[in-house]
Structure 1
Amino acid sequence: MLSVFVEGDEARRTRTIYTIGYVLEPPAPRARPVRADEVAEQGTVPVDRVGRIIEGVLRRLDEPEIPDVRETGGDAEKWKDLLGELGGLPGTVAQPGR
């Protein structure tokens, strides 16, 4: 899951929550695997409700997980580093060793 600041909300009082899922599709012989991503907006909520909304979504999953919470505070460099650590933007294939 991902929560992001709402564009135009200079006071950063609201966040939009997205769920991001992917399936690694089996490749053809000698081809690289293909990652199919699904990004779904779940809604925009006041910042003080983000944790509760995420907990509710996790409870409804077939395989609940403990969230891996990362804060970037809107810092573009921290966001870039996090994307690199997680294997890139949805729609890309992570490179070995990254």
Structure 2
Amino acid sequence: MLKVYLKQAWNLIRQERLFSLIYIVGTGLSVSMVMVLSIVFYIKIANIYPETNRDRMLVAKSGMIKHKNGSNSSSSLSEGMVNTCFGSLKGVEAVALISRNSG
């Protein structure tokens, strides 16, 4: 049964070379894109050296304040704000601040 199936498949590949090539290349590209995306997402979220505790890390890029009149303000966090908000949390081992100086 398997031998007959393989003979039929080989004959169809030989008869329709263009479509067979398109199907095979399309399947290969889709499988390779899924693998590339899964590897990229794994590298972004996994605990890989030097960030071995990435799953326990909090990254805050900016802060936002909602005023009573309905307006919003947002900006980068200052050193005092970072120490006040994140330094007083329970279980915090370390707090780091990275600033971008303009000029």
Q: Would you tell me which structure has more strand in proportion to its own residues?
A: 1
Q: Would you tell me which structure has more helix in proportion to its own residues?
A: 2
TM interval, shorter chain, is under 0.3
- Kindly indicate whether structure 1 or structure 2 has the higher relative contact order, using CA contacts under 8 Å at least 6 residues apart: 1
TM-score, structure 2 length as denominator? 0.24
The structure number with the bigger radius of gyration is: 2
TM-score, structure 1 length as denominator? 0.25
